[in-house]
Structure 1
């Protein structure tokens, strides 16, 4: 067997540069899209922009050039803000794409390297192996029992066996490797591949909108319809009062502009994209931004053991040989039987090992053998890992025709196909119990002899001789106990789903302080249960052992049927279906296969489960801040709408207190407030001590909507009281407008501060670190002061300068219209404390 990449040297660095200059990069070049042009077209379709353009046109037509110029400028400013937010979101998503770019393995300069797939060139020697995807078209030059699923090109779901001797010895970009290993010489990249010619790409798949997205869109549509109806009513009322078409149209447009909550979809898109970017900075790659919405709701995390709870740093620790019926430590004085056990276990491994256990076996073989036979033998046949429980078999042969047939896998799989006596089986099982009870992972090892080349179709067709057991120790990760505690505090259940046996898993679980580690179930036991029985069982069972793809998928579906929001970690081909089925599929960035990464919605760059604690905390933070932003938008829109509508509908003295210029100014304040201030808010300290948010909870029903409406009505009451006070005092329309406007601005500022938390007091939230809060509020106060007290601005906005008592009354009323909610929060905290003291929770 050749250990140095089968004597394939690959391209040199100079060859790579020449090939790249000739053929370019390995990318599917789609039709160039103009993001700026698309954003402009999208903006022109926005109802608010349309209303602004119509209003400014009316001003120009009616001769109000100043108002027309202002509204046109405001339209440009609104467009600029929208384009900025759009570009910020897009840049965040582009950065995510660069982090989640697929990688591949090539041989260059005689050495194996990992490179980004787009850096592949024609002529490269590409290594493809089970669990990966083919990164470019190529011709097979070496393979071991290699099979590939080409359904992306052919629609045929069955795997196709290929090697260099067959007529079809080509592989194609985008196809999935079902088994084995191959080295291919790249013949086409990018748009020249079969996938590129057909024009298919996974990026073209359109994602369905989430329930929250649909609810937001429906809410905005309903408000637009209401706005259209009210627009017609107000236009009619004004027209019958004045018989002036343009003036009545302008006043109706003012109300229509106040009704449209166009900030909500903008806030949602911004929060999701920037949330994904923030998660990326934590080392969590979000493949679909909608996953951010789901993160805070996770109720169960199903985690594998190896590499997630443990270091995936396998060291060969124990050996058991059937012939001696003894268990040895690796550093004991080993005899011929133990050396042979290591030798056979190594031959049962891949020639180029990538699995930590196989790497450990190759290392042990090299250190315990006087002569290294690996260069003398070549693999002539391979049976990939398969069966329930799994095993694998390799056939090697040297030039003299001497043959080695070695197998390793789950001990019970090899026991079943070896000719063992009852006593021998009893000895083996006792040894397994002794070793696994100490937390070691065990593999059975066997060998056989076979003449001729008419190999059995399945490896189980050989008659094996059981040699012994090799056992590995994989230490738990140092931080895993605290990670489990964090999940528990957050109300998230953890379940271990592993292919390892029960005793080993329980021993590791006990070592890391895993709760209820005694409650376990095997894959075979699980498959015997009907759906109803399984749904009951998965709630109490915490450890699932000897799992296979169908069993994993059944667990996920049973948990989902119990209304759990399921996150699952995985790294292998067998994890694909369950990762896809879970609400949050989590692939490991380092040891995860490409198939696992494609099926998952999140990728942990460092294979560190503690990052999921950070991700869930970030998910809860993003959702809570988005809720604050949307509740703020709803609350502040209500007084704007009613302040425009009620005086007109009731025939008050100044029925048209606001004009489009005032509404657009308020819109310019609200946009940055909801999308910038609230997005930047830190996580509240009790967020990770609460139970997960039910996935069915939304912003548009129940407590949240009621709170927003009441807050909005209270602000409306305060504004209209000031309105009536000004009228009773005989103030002019301009002075009344100034007081009403100031009250609304003050209420807006205080609402921003109060709604930073719906639990903690304003005295607590003022200590939150968010530099944008004083910045945005400072800008708002400065501009409002300029509009009220600088004569040219005041005249343009039809304001009149207020004296100190009038300012104080407006600001105090705005404060009182909002501050009452602090009493509600105080009562909420009091109830929570009482429940905590008495132990009675709702």
Structure 2
């Protein structure tokens, strides 16, 4: 049975099968994500502290304070749940997009569907590089072999055919070679993979280095908070002798130290960053890719379909006996037609490679009588060897046999008995065609009686027929794409299976840097490790590459401390994609094996999207840094304002209580995780060198900046404190003035830290509507707290006179705005 004879299921049969057998997905018990989030929330240090503080207030009879903290618990939980929901929704959408697809025959048409839409009875087409989505029975195949290591642990591919004892395929395995049409017999949990309970969904993703660093930082702060908490409790207990009162004051300092916003910010930034990339047509499969993107220093790209359009047009023929190059658009002689015929027979019967599609189309154009239905595949040698070639043997009912081969011209020349003069002439023609950027195939024919075929195709005695040349034009935007990479300090290398002359010609056409030299896979494999590391740095074009050579290039670049991004689409690209820091698969022409190995997928095969992905990676990382630097800077003055008056025995030792700290936390949380996440990319981001992918999130200079900013705000707040005490202001007025300093400083810190290079006047023009909204809300609520009699009484505030308000706001402003002078110096002298 041939594929074109299979009609496939109609819609009614599909619906009936799905109703009877269900969908093709693994069903397993999962913990309710909402309940899981609630459980995590209840174990958060800040929430536990709030519970304790609220309980103490209620025990002491301070019901209003206790109620406020209870409301604060609800608000903090609501914010956390909202952020978690945004993250989970983004990841759920990503999971849907990364689901494997498969090809089926339905209603006489071959269509692509999501693997979960497959039903029992479907006719599944499994070809090289695809992931088999269900269990099934092979009904037709060509040179078909499958890697079943996920089930058996055996890495060698297994040959399968309809007439073999082993004629079954299983879900989760991958096609190593050839093509087969399979009748689906089991889906979902009823597959062999489903029954043994192996599901990728049950595999936990490891924490990234950045996530580990952030978690460690928070743990250290929790530990520090615990120590300070005990010290403050001891001091207050010594002074007052009251256990609950001293405990409450100690809880205040503990709350001010805990930076619980940092893990929330990290999760939000990474998940929403992946969601933003998805909206741009870049599907991120692993969250760690988001944080790695901005560090990429080298991008290794293939040629066909990435640099070029993957639209192969037959542009030239060279038939050996005639000895001249002919345009296929001209009137062809019998020799040139025979060359096309033999090249077609050397192609797959069901062509999917663009060159083979072009050869089948050319055959249909020049031959009115179609021989193809009368011949059956008798034997096949898949693409193999260095350089590679492939051979097909067809035979009809009368025993007439066709043995045709095509592949790299060097491979056909080596397998043919050409004279030295003829070989030299063919090589000259090859160079002429390659210099135009044409992709060239050699074509050969053999005669062999009997069925005891040679073990390898190269042992046939081929007659060299000639050359067929194709032109795959460069993509229109590829020059600007490379220019963008170069401007961002990212090196670009071309790794291709094509020959050097063709690749260098295409490289020159697009203005590629380093188009003047190249190295072949065989040459590269002979180099020592030291020599290889030097050569990969100096060379930008790698030709006639094979899987082992590609992998050596990636590992050598990594040994040179490069952060490597690698594009790929074929089965043979899998190891290199897996080895690269950022494996990039093509969404349209990429095989499922390539997509499974890669860490991100370009939905429309456009390399320009990688420029956008790198920019997004840099933007996410920069904004996350801004958010965390903001958190550090604003926590320091809160800690010092609470601790120093107590430690130094000032007149108002406990200026803030938990209700004040929690209000400040409720302001800081949305600021860091909403405002900064929404910040646009700064205009110089893609003109900088890639950031080092080091083991530390902050360098000392950045951390020092945050600490100094925090100390400056604390100095401003404490000076206002001392000013108020000096003029004998009441504790309520002093508290209100210090609180106003912190709120004002928080507002201006948000604005100043939107860039550590450009001035506040530049960043005010950034498009981020959330800035105005959240700052306005903060100021309105602060005004109500101070000037609304009920709220000011609840927070132990006192309405400020104009002079007091101006002094406090001015101190908060000065405590932050000085950093604009630092930024001015950066712009002027760097």
Match of 1:176 in 2: 174
- Are residue 502 (structure 1) and residue 500 (structure 2) matched? yes
Match of 2:306 in 1: 308
Match of 1:714 in 2: 712
Q: CA deviation at 1:455?
A: 2.4
- Are residue 243 (structure 1) and residue 256 (structure 2) matched? no
Q: Which of 338, 341, 344 is 2:342 aligned to?
A: 344
Partners of 1:803 and 1:191 in 2: CA distance: 72
Partners of 2:222 and 2:402 in 1: CA distance: 76
Q: CA deviation at 1:30?
A: 2.1
Alignment of 1:198-237 (within 5 A): 198-237=196-235
* Cα gap change, 1:813 to 1:699, in 2 (>3 Å): farther
Q: CA deviation at 1:222?
A: 0.4
CA RMSD of aligned residues (A): 1.0
- Are residue 50 (structure 1) and residue 54 (structure 2) matched? no
Q: CA deviation at 1:12?
A: 1.6
Partners of 1:167 and 1:91 in 2: CA distance: 46
The superposition leaves residues 619-671 of structure 1 with CA deviations (integer Å, 9 ceiling, x where unpaired) of: 11111111100000000000011111111110111111111100110000000
The superposition leaves residues 281-315 of structure 1 with CA deviations (integer Å, 9 ceiling, x where unpaired) of: 11100001110101111111100000011000000
* 2:209–2:695 CA contact under 8 A, matched in 1: no
* 1:126–1:184 CA contact under 8 A, matched in 2: yes
- Secondary structure (helix, strand or coil) at the match of 1:758 reads coil
The superposition leaves residues 3-61 of structure 1 with CA deviations (integer Å, 9 ceiling, x where unpaired) of: x7241222122111110111111111121331100000010111111111111011111
The superposition leaves residues 188-208 of structure 1 with CA deviations (integer Å, 9 ceiling, x where unpaired) of: 001110111111122333222
Q: CA deviation at 1:75?
A: 0.3
The superposition leaves residues 697-721 of structure 1 with CA deviations (integer Å, 9 ceiling, x where unpaired) of: 7433311101000000000000000
Match of 2:452 in 1: 454
* 1:5–1:110 CA contact under 8 A, matched in 2: no
Q: CA deviation at 1:164?
A: 1.0
Alignment of 1:824-835 (within 5 A): 824-832=822-830
Alignment of 1:340-419 (within 5 A): 340-419=338-417
Partners of 2:76 and 2:383 in 1: CA distance: 60
Match of 1:428 in 2: 426
Structure 1 outlier segments of 4+, above 6 Å: none
Match of 2:797 in 1: 799
Partners of 2:63 and 2:117 in 1: CA distance: 58
Q: Which of 329, 332, 340 is 2:330 aligned to?
A: 332
The superposition leaves residues 427-460 of structure 1 with CA deviations (integer Å, 9 ceiling, x where unpaired) of: 2111101110111000111121222223223222
The superposition leaves residues 767-803 of structure 1 with CA deviations (integer Å, 9 ceiling, x where unpaired) of: 1010000000001001111111101111111111111
Partners of 2:677 and 2:754 in 1: CA distance: 11
Partners of 2:443 and 2:201 in 1: CA distance: 44
Alignment of 1:666-677 (within 5 A): 666-677=664-675
Q: CA deviation at 1:586?
A: 0.4
Match of 1:838 in 2: none
- Secondary structure (helix, strand or coil) at the match of 1:525 reads helix
The superposition leaves residues 211-245 of structure 1 with CA deviations (integer Å, 9 ceiling, x where unpaired) of: 21111011000000000011111111111111111
* 2:100–2:131 CA contact under 8 A, matched in 1: no
Partners of 1:188 and 1:382 in 2: CA distance: 30
* 1:388–1:413 CA contact under 8 A, matched in 2: yes
Partners of 1:202 and 1:543 in 2: CA distance: 37
- Secondary structure (helix, strand or coil) at the match of 2:303 reads coil
Match of 1:298 in 2: 296
* 2:444–2:465 CA contact under 8 A, matched in 1: yes
- Are residue 554 (structure 1) and residue 555 (structure 2) matched? no
Match of 1:658 in 2: 656
Partners of 1:283 and 1:111 in 2: CA distance: 27
Q: Which of 617, 620, 633 is 2:618 aligned to?
A: 620
Partners of 1:332 and 1:432 in 2: CA distance: 20
Partners of 2:143 and 2:223 in 1: CA distance: 63
Partners of 1:624 and 1:585 in 2: CA distance: 22
Partners of 1:445 and 1:203 in 2: CA distance: 47
Partners of 1:698 and 1:748 in 2: CA distance: 26
Alignment of 1:387-786 (within 5 A): 387-696=385-694, 698-786=696-784
* 1:216–1:265 CA contact under 8 A, matched in 2: yes
Q: CA deviation at 1:547?
A: 0.4
* 2:104–2:113 CA contact under 8 A, matched in 1: yes
* 2:550–2:576 CA contact under 8 A, matched in 1: yes
Match of 1:187 in 2: 185
Partners of 1:268 and 1:206 in 2: CA distance: 18
Partners of 2:820 and 2:314 in 1: CA distance: 62
* 2:413–2:464 CA contact under 8 A, matched in 1: yes
- Secondary structure (helix, strand or coil) at the match of 1:693 reads coil
Match of 1:119 in 2: 117
Partners of 2:697 and 2:570 in 1: CA distance: 38
Q: CA deviation at 1:388?
A: 1.3
Q: CA deviation at 1:415?
A: 1.3
* 1:519–1:540 CA contact under 8 A, matched in 2: no
The superposition leaves residues 380-404 of structure 1 with CA deviations (integer Å, 9 ceiling, x where unpaired) of: 2222211111111112122222221
Q: Which of 267, 270, 278 is 1:269 aligned to?
A: 267
Partners of 2:119 and 2:396 in 1: CA distance: 34
Q: CA deviation at 1:728?
A: 0.6
Q: Which of 74, 77, 91 is 2:75 aligned to?
A: 77
Query: Does 20-29 or 374-383 show the bigger shift?
Result: 374-383
**Number of residues paired by the alignment?**
830
Match of 1:836 in 2: none
Give the structure-1-normalised TM-score: 0.98
- Secondary structure (helix, strand or coil) at the match of 2:315 reads strand
Partners of 2:73 and 2:455 in 1: CA distance: 72
Partners of 1:187 and 1:522 in 2: CA distance: 46
Partners of 1:408 and 1:633 in 2: CA distance: 64
Partners of 1:225 and 1:44 in 2: CA distance: 19
The superposition leaves residues 476-533 of structure 1 with CA deviations (integer Å, 9 ceiling, x where unpaired) of: 0001111111111111111100000000001100011111201211101100101100
Give the structure-2-normalised TM-score: 0.99
Partners of 2:95 and 2:397 in 1: CA distance: 49
- Are residue 167 (structure 1) and residue 165 (structure 2) matched? yes
5+ unaligned residues in a row in structure 2: which ranges? none
* 1:5–1:112 CA contact under 8 A, matched in 2: no
